[in-house]
A = this chain, B = another copy of it.
Amino acid sequence: MLLPLLFTISLLFSSSAHASVLDFCVADPSLPNGPAGYPCKNPAKVTVDDFVYHALGIPGNTSNFIKAAFTPAFAPQFPGVNGLGISIGRFDIAVDGVLPLHTHPGASEILFVVEGTICAGFISSSANTVYFKTLYKGDAMVFPQGLLHFLFNSGQTLATAIASFTSPNPGAQVMDFALFANNLPSAIVEKTTFLDDAEVKKLKAVFGGTG
């Protein structure tokens, strides 16, 4: 009696290789990317560890210039999120630390404060309105897609937060790095930002840019 039943099951599911397209598409980074993400790993080789990520439990190293660190769990690190339109990451921000102004070109973000006190804000494109607030342990704030936003530690202790994104690979465009950490000629930076030459030269030195 079981065989005919399983025959029915197999029809309901077609083959696992096919149906897996629907359930999930674990990234196979050995294949070329596409506009919708990575091709899918062979479902027969998928394990629970493709859907679990451990490194967010490890504090990031904040011994750096911005006294802050971001640990991503994006599709490249966390292959199970490929194709699912979501990812996550961890912020550690030391006292006086800051996540400089940045955008996520293709993702909205929700920040959740796990420990400490963070001043967070974003700026609308419609009227340059600034929306910022001091967030305490347990507070959440949403940053709409593509808008400039910032975080800094406004307390006396290390701050830790979890961020969720509406993309498996949201990336981040940090304004200072975009302006000062590459070979964009200083004359162009100045012409397109109205910053003065000394400021641009100084910050290119700080962020490792040339030109």
Q: Would A174 and B9 be within 8 Å (CB), given that A131-B48, A164-B86, A169-B18 are in contact?
A: yes
Inter-chain contacts of A126 with B (CB < 8 A): 13, 15-16, 18-20, 22-23, 43, 171
CB-nearest residue of chain B relative to A43?
B126
Q: Would A18 and B87 be within 8 Å (CB), given that A142-B51, A166-B166, A192-B100 are in contact?
A: no
CB-nearest residue of chain B relative to A119?
B188
In the bound complex, how far is the Cα of B86 from the Cα of A141, in angstroms?
A: 12
Q: Copy number in this complex?
A: 6
The interface size of chain A toward B, counting residues with CB under 8 Å, comes to: 151
In contact, B64 and A8 (Cβ under 8 angstroms): yes
List residues of A (146-204) whose CB comes within 8 Å of B's CBs: 146-148, 150, 152, 162, 164-167, 169-179, 181-184, 188, 191-196, 199, 202-203
Q: Report A170 CB to chain B, min CB distance, Å.
A: 6
In contact, B88 and A56 (Cβ under 8 angstroms): no
In contact, B101 and A193 (Cβ under 8 angstroms): yes
Inter-chain contacts of A8 with B (CB < 8 A): 64-66, 68-70
Q: Would A36 and B36 be within 8 Å (CB), given that A174-B9, A178-B128 are in contact?
A: yes
Which single member of B16, B83, B128, B199 contacts A181 (CB below 8 Å)? B128
In contact, B106 and A9 (Cβ under 8 angstroms): no
Q: Would A65 and B142 be within 8 Å (CB), given that A169-B18, A171-B19 are in contact?
A: no
In contact, A174 and B12 (Cβ under 8 angstroms): yes
In contact, B130 and A108 (Cβ under 8 angstroms): no
In contact, B105 and A144 (Cβ under 8 angstroms): yes
Inter-chain contacts of A9 with B (CB < 8 A): 174, 177, 181
